[in-house]
Amino acid sequence: MQIHVLASGSTGNATYIEMENTKLLVDAGISARRIKQSLDKIGTKIEDIDGVLITHEHRDHVNGLTTLLKKYNLPTYTQPDTWQAMYCRNALPETCCKLLSDSFTIGKVKIEPFSISHDAADPVGFRLYAGSSKVCVATDLGFVTPTVKAALALSDAVVLEANHDVDMLKNGSYPWYLKKRIMSNRGHLANTDAGWTLARLDRKAHTHVFLAHLSQENNSLELAEKTVADILTTQGCKLGQDITLHRTYPEQISGLSEHK
């Protein structure tokens, strides 16, 4: 199992996941050139990607999609309403545009999308299964519903949003309407929300967690990690043993390789 968060944040999001030799890309919010360069660095050819999964249509998740599909003809899956709402839909090759179903398989990976709460047409997270491994991606969500909690449970690795510190956001420079949007049930997950979600989660013996989609203005790597870590330790979780926290970056690859 390999997970490499190629980019994470408001400037662009893309995550590479490999399970049982099946190679997947979740979101394509950075340029196709940068995706290719990032994959080259981890020893993967972009032409070998078996499928692209799109969570929702916001530009920081699809900005590189037009070039990616035109140049490499990669099969790409998302919800019907997401395709319809996507700004670049008319520029995409029709043969590449696939629809999600409740459960489907690419290569040796079983994929189950699940609904999340965000201000997009029909946003989803993804559960990925292969062999005995499970990986879950859940970013851009205003709050954790029972559906999301069930999806995250018993994962080997989770990519979970820790977007903002509430006090930094409230006291920051954003206009009030934007602060309200971010803090709403259809906005973004705060550090504390991420921490309590993980603390209350049904977990395997050891879970890897990538803290993702951090705001560059209303958060910091150190603060997100400390907030989540403090909540986990107060709830009896042993960091590095029960849960390992991984940072993600807007301009830098973060990764995990495990063999089971």
Q: What is the predicted pLDDT for the residue at 260?
A: 52
Q: What pLDDT is recorded for position 258?
A: 73
Whose CA is closest to 209, among 240, 236, 182?
A: 240
**Closest Cα to residue 259, out of 133, 148, 167, 162?**
133
At residue 259, the pLDDT reads 57
Give the β-pairing of 133-138 and 157-161.
parallel
Side chain identity at residue 44, one-letter code: T
3-class DSSP state of 24:
strand
SS (H, E, C) 48-63: HCCEEECCCCCHHHHC
Rounded Cα–Cα distance for residues 14 and 53 (Å): 10
What structural domains and CATH numbers belong to the chain?
2-253 (3.60.15.10)
Percent of the chain having pLDDT more than 70? 99
Q: What distance lies between CA 52 and its chain's CA centroid?
A: 13
The mean pLDDT value for 53-74 works out to 98
pTM: 0.97
